[in-house]
Amino acid sequence: MGIANQNILPSHLAAVAGVIDPDAYAANTYTTGWINMADFGAIMAIIMAGDLGTSATIDAKLQQATDSGGSGAKDVTGKAITQLTQAGSDSNKQVVINLSADELDVANDFTHVRLSVTIATAASDMGAVVLGLHRRYGPASGGDLASVDEIVS
């Protein structure tokens, strides 16, 4: 099946809105920057586990805040993965978390979201990317992080 409108580039549909660069990480918690959901109708967080250390675990969740500084930060209900474990043969697997902007606690002015990934017990390879979707104004690529070096079309 072909693309309905071949004039629309995939980079116009999805922005790189947050990242945790792939690396070998010590046991700790790692987060993306806060993403303003006023810019996007939805996000998709992709967590990529590489080789997990002996007895290592990876947990990931989305958190929300009322501003870009993380004020009032709290977890987004229902937006946490099932723990990945080295014992469960979860090395070299990926998980995806979807979030629509209206799933935030908008009644209490929560407007920003970030991905939080916790590696426990042993150092492990991990990386993550958060894609911003349904950008409200202009192509999604206009919402890319400054670290996006090039878009080839």
Domains of the chain, earliest start first:
14-136 (2.60.120.1110)
Global model pTM greater than 0.85:
yes
> Residue 41 in 3-state DSSP?
strand
d(CA 132, CA 15): 5
Residue 137 has pLDDT above 80, yes or no: yes
Percent of the chain surpassing pLDDT 90: 88
d(CA 75, CA 35): 14
Average pLDDT over residues 49-63: 97
d(CA 68, CA 20): 17
- pLDDT score for 7: 76
Q: Are 41 and 134 in contact (CB under 8 A)?
A: yes
pLDDT in tens, 65-117: 999 999 999 999 999 999 999 999 999 999 999 999 999 999 999 999 999 99
Q: Are 15 and 40 in contact (CB under 8 A)?
A: yes
For the chain, the average pLDDT equals: 95
- pLDDT score for 3: 54
